[in-house]
């Protein structure tokens, strides 16, 4: 599969579109992470769209902050956030500058450099689990806040870049509610995934946290 896919970098105008167009179109694309040990290539199999000020589920719903500032910048950049005091998650910024929409990379298949990803994902029982979920994906690719703001469309040496890969035909794309989103944002069916792909993460509805008595 990997030998026959298009290794041409995606241009910036790919991301300069509405997030609901970009999100499903990212399925099947290749994300290349350059690490000190060597490159790791991931085929994107699951994503979620977040539509900024139009979306109560988005980090940017209430406007710019120090945390989400990259989302308000130019398209094609990486937005990384830290969650639950333990994990990082990776997004790709979409739309024109100032719009603040982004696509969360939820899962993927490691197609090159799995030996490097395994060192960071020692609990994975099979390679299909290496990047099965957004936190696992970031861990496998050694992505943290140091990469926040990285230009994934830049020419030359860059720690993260996006290649054309092989887009998934529309009849193989599924969509449904986003994982763990609560409130008004829970109604949007903005999670997209490759049908029957074993690397796609299981859906989980939002569960309110119980306060300790």
The percentage of the chain sitting over the pLDDT mark of 70, rounded to a whole number, equals: 94
Q: With 60 as the cut, is the pLDDT of residue 212 above it?
A: no
Q: Structural domain boundaries of the chain?
A: 2-170
What's the whole-number mean pLDDT along residues 58-87?
A: 93
d(CA 203, CA 213): 29
In Å, how far are 22, 92, 95 from 169, measured between CA atoms? 14, 21, 23
Bridge partners of residue 77, in order along the sequence: 151
pLDDT tens for residues 107-148? 999 999 999 999 999 999 999 999 999 999 999 999 999 999
pLDDT of residue 213: 43
Q: Which residue has the higher pLDDT, 95 or 206?
A: 95
Contact between 46 and 203 under an 8 Å Cβ cutoff? The reply is no
pLDDT tens for residues 153-167? 998 889 999 999 999
What secondary structure does DSSP assign to 51-66, as a single string?
-GGG-TTSTTTT---T
pLDDT tens for residues 22-54? 999 999 999 999 999 999 999 999 999 999 999
Average confidence score pLDDT of the chain: 93
CATH number listed for the domain at residues 2-170:
3.10.300.10
């Amino acid at each position: 599969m990997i030998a026959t896919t298009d290794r041409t970098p995606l241009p910036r105008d790919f991301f300069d579109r509405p997030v609901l167009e970009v999100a499903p179109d990212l399925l099947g694309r290749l994300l290349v992470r350059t690490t000190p040990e060597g490159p790791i290539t991931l085929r994107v199999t699951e994503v979620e769209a977040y539509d900024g000020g139009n979306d109560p589920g988005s980090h940017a719903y209430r406007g710019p902050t120090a945390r989400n500032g990259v989302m308000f910048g130019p398209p094609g950049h990486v937005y990384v956030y830290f969650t639950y005091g333990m994990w990082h998650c990776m997004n790709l910024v979409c739309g024109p500058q100032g719009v603040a929409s982004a696509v969360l990379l939820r899962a993927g298949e490691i197609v090159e450099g799995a030996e490097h990803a395994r060192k960071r994902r020692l609990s994975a029982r099979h390679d299909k689990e290496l990047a099965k979920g957004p936190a696992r994906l970031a861990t496998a690719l050694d992505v943290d806040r140091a990469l926040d703001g990285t230009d994934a469309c830049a020419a030359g040496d860059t720690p993260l870049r996006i290649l054309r890969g092989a887009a998934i035909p529309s009849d193989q794309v599924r969509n449904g509610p986003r994982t763990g989103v609560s409130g008004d944002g829970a109604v949007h069916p903005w999670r997209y995934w490759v049908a029957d792909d074993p690397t796609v993460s299981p859906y989980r509805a939002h569960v309110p946290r119980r306060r300790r008595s």
